[in-house]
Structure 1
Amino acid sequence: MTALPVSTPMHFDQVDRRDHSPAATLRRVSRALDDLRALTTVDQLVQRAPVALCRVGFDRAMISRVVDSDWVVERFHSEVDPAEAAEITTAARTENQRLGPNVIELEMVRRRVSLLVVDVSREPRVNPRLAAMTGSHSYVAAPIAPDGEVVGFFHADRLCAAPVTDFDREIIALFAQEFGTLVAAASLRERFDRLRTTMDNLRTSLGGMVDGCLDGPMNLVSEKQVTGVSAHPAGLAPMTGQRLTGAPEIDRLLSEREREVLKLMALGETNGRIASRLVITEGTVKSHVRHILRKLNAANRAEAVCRWLQRPGVTV
């Protein structure tokens, strides 16, 4: 994940940040979200969000992802000690936290509610490793749920003696709700971009196939006589190798998992996104892609996708 430069300014009044009145806090929330709206990708939003949340009125903030039954720390940010925050981020990434019944964050997944932990030392369900690394005494947390499904968490605290409050819990819940909307919009834009790229690749591949048919040598015998199969419309034949005439042949050649991978390829998904959606490693995805290309005798991903889309009644 590509980090944005930490020095990039955001539009906040540091004097106003010390004003913890409800009205001032809500103004900061509005400004923070306005700055995040200027970002265009999910990765940028994830990297910038902890900074924005700190500028709302917290000293430290953390964003993490939910992957199956684990939650994975993406970034820990501190307005007080950025170097320590970077160390905590690195250390936290070395071991994922399992979302079991003894973990308080599981409540955010099950009930989609924000949390207030006023005494970390007395809460047995707090991750002891993170508590030791951060030295947090109290914190608030909220789920990130763009489409009603929890995909991540925000955590935030202050280093001053005064603990966080119920109002802070409401603030982080509001921030997380609006952030989820921004993530959903950015994700949709990225999907459209991938789909556009896929369509461009298909257009290029189909153009090459048509040119190949038009540039071929003239014969006094039909293609049916030459190949022993029915003639097909120009431009719909595979560019090389074995002819694939329909769904049964592809279904026979590919395993169920390979068909799932190929369908996601047709949607424009990258290997990383396919791995995330199928809950497998990116290396496994690459292996499936190699097998697909070999079995379909396809020169590249675009050609394999083109053959998939030629299947009768195909839906992507």
Structure 2
Amino acid sequence: MSVLMVSDNSRSTAASRPGSDWWSPEIDMVDRLHELRSRVDAAVHGTVTLPAVEWDVPRRCAETLSVLTRVCIEQLHVLPSSEQQQAQLLFDLILDLQQLAMDWYLHATAMRGHRLADCAAGLGRLRGVPDSAALLDNACEELVLRCGFHRAVLSKVEGRGWKPLTINTRWDEQTPSWFSDWTSQTIPLTGGAPEAEMLSRRRPSLVYDTASAPVYRPLIVQAGQSRSYVVAPLVVGTDVIGFLHTDHHPLARRVDETDRDVLWAFADGFSHLYERAVLIERLKAQRDDVRDLFFGALDRIDELCESDLAAVRRVEAGDDPATGPGRKPVGLTERERDVFDLMVTGASNQEIAERLVITEGTVKSHVKHILRKYGAVNRAQAIAWALNAS
């Protein structure tokens, strides 16, 4: 899923943006471009059709600057030499247009560098997240708060489909109601959709216009109101396990190549962090299993040693438990007697735990004590000696 732009009017959202946001200079430069276009239109007396100025994909503003500059130069070529004042006006316009073009280029270059640096810093923060589940929970927040996007969605791939998991937006503190309706649904990975192509390409896709792109319209266009978005795959090993979708909703700004590069850098780094977290979790689980086996073996060895020593002492005392007649009664607690009575019937530890309403671990502890008291090496021996004694 992914989303972008509801309104084409940049000024309708400009009032709500924080002054420190990275896109604020762009809107200011669009305002300058509006003014310069009006001056060029007045200079040519409306005889030339000029391109409209929209805060859309930034490259269109660059193209508009180029067109306006060319119109001024062409007007100078046909201007009579006597029109000195008009020529000076056109010269000034050309200089102002070139100054804005340079400002635009420097801003775009600087912002790309800043956003990539913030992306790296965000990945550095995520490196300290304790587990894979927490990584998934924090990914979209980093994209919105640190990387310059306004909406981010994380989805998981399941077979030939993908399912939205989490969303984070710059403007809303709670999950949008329309998104909750899609978290339990699987979107098919079919046709020429950007998400389907990523299963083999493993590279991000930039959708300039969802109106003409083969996107999943019920979610992306109708529910998410998207006009433009970037999507990048999350790759672990050789498998695409999920997607990250980002855009600038609800600002009237389409995504561009910088958005694609920033998301690609984040998705690539995040994939490595997630793979590392999963590997560490598996290693910890294996460590715990080995630890349980090791200490279980030690307990078993201790039991065997203790039972063997107890048997030797009985033989030395003339009370061999194997012969039965000289065997002394074994004192069991009331709970141990309950457990032992069920052992005699052949009940398993789990069945004993269910009958006595205790945990299986408690049953194992009682069984261990019973074996030690009887000096037996296993359950069958303890039962046999108990029956002989009786």
Same fold (TM over 0.5): yes
Return the offset for 1:86: 4.6
1:168 partner amino acid:
D
TM-score (structure 1 length as normaliser) = 0.61
Local SS of the residue matching 2:134: helix
Q: Does 1:174 align with 2:179?
A: no
1:39 correspondence with 2:129: yes
Query: In structure 1, which of residues 132, 137, 154 is the aligned counterpart of residue 244 of structure 2?
Result: 154
Task: Classify 1:127/1:105 alpha carbon distance in 2 versus 1 (closer, same or farther; 3 Å).
Answer: farther
What SS does the aligned partner of 1:121 have?
coil
Output aligned runs, 1:209-220, within 5 Å. 209-216=300-307, 218=311
Superposition map of 1:1-316 within 5 A: 15=20, 17-18=22-23, 21-55=111-145, 56-83=147-174, 85-101=175-191, 103-159=193-249, 160-216=251-307, 218=311
Contact 2:144–2:169 (Cα < 8 Å) also in 1: yes
Determine if contact 1:92/1:130 at 8 Å carries over to the other structure.
no
Residue 127 of structure 1, CA deviation: 4.5
Name the counterpart of 1:262: none
Give percent identity, aligned residues only: 25
Q: TM-score, normalised by structure 2?
A: 0.50
Aligned equivalents of 1:62, 1:88: Cα separation in 2: 13
Residue by residue over 1:260-310, the C-alpha shift from the partner in whole angstroms, topping out at 9 and shown as x without a partner, is xxxxxxxxxxxxxxxxxxxxxxxxxxxxxx9xxxxxxxx78xx9xxxxxxx
Distance 1:37 1:86 in 2: 28
Query: Would the alpha carbon gap of residues 88 and 45 (structure 1) be closer, same or farther in structure 2, given more than 3 Å must change?
Result: farther
Q: Do the aligned partners of residues 48 and 138 (structure 1) sit closer, same or farther apart at CA in structure 2, a change above 3 Å counting?
A: same
Cα shift readout 1:76-129 (whole Å, capped 9, x = no counterpart): 11111132x353442221211122235430111111111111112322332422
Letter in 2 for 1:25: R
Report deviation, 1:68.
Answer: 2.3
Question: CA shift at 1:132, angstroms?
Answer: 2.0
Could you tell me how far apart the structure 2 residues matched to 1:125 and 1:61 are? 17
Q: Match for 1:153: what amino acid?
A: F
SS in 2 for 1:116: strand
Q: In the aligned structure 2, how far is the partner of 1:101 from the partner of 1:207? A: 59
The 2-side partners of 1:88 and 1:196 are apart by 43
Identify the range of structure 1 (146-155 vs 107-116) with the bigger mean alpha-carbon deviation. 146-155
Q: Following the alignment from structure 2 to structure 1, what is the Cα–Cα distance between the partners of residues 311 and 267?
A: 65
Aligned residue type for 1:170: D
Shift of residue 131, structure 1, vs aligned partner: 3.0
The answer to whether the 8 Å contact 2:163/2:184 transfers is: no
- 2: CA distance, partners of 1:57 / 1:120: 21
3-state SS of 2:255 partner: coil
Runs (5+) with no aligned partner, structure 1: 1-12, 224-239, 241-289, 291-298, 304-316
Structure 2 counterpart of 1:72, one-letter code: K
Indicate how the Cα distance of structure 1 residues 101 and 205 shifts in structure 2: closer, same or farther if over 3 A, else same: farther
Shift of 1:75: 0.4
CA RMSD of aligned residues (A): 2.9
Deviation at 1:164, TM superposition (A): 0.4
Contact persistence 1:76–1:88 (CA under 8 A): no
Question: Could you tell me which residue of structure 2 aligns to residue 243 of structure 1?
Answer: none
**AA paired with 2:210?**
V
Which of the two has higher C-alpha Rg? 2
* Cα displacement (A) at 1:149: 1.8
* Cα distance change, pair 210–14 in 1 and its aligned pair in 2 (3 A): farther
Q: Secondary structure at the match of 1:215?
A: helix
User: Using the alignment, how far apart are the partners of 2:294 and 2:155 within structure 1?
Assistant: 39
Structure 2 CA distance for partners of 1:17 and 1:197, relative to 1, 3 Å:
farther
Would you say the 8 A contact 1:16–1:24 is kept in 2?
Answer: no
Report the secondary structure of 2:20's partner residue: helix
Q: Secondary structure at the match of 2:258?
A: helix
- For the Cα contact (< 8 Å) 1:103–1:127, is it kept in 2? no
Q: Which structure: greater helix fraction?
A: 2
Describe the shift of the 1:54–1:14 C-alpha distance in structure 2 as closer, same or farther (beyond 3 A). farther
Give 3-state SS (helix, strand or coil) of 1:71's partner.
strand
- d(CA) in 2 for partners of 1:88, 1:206: 55
1: distance between equivalents of 2:21 and 2:168? 20
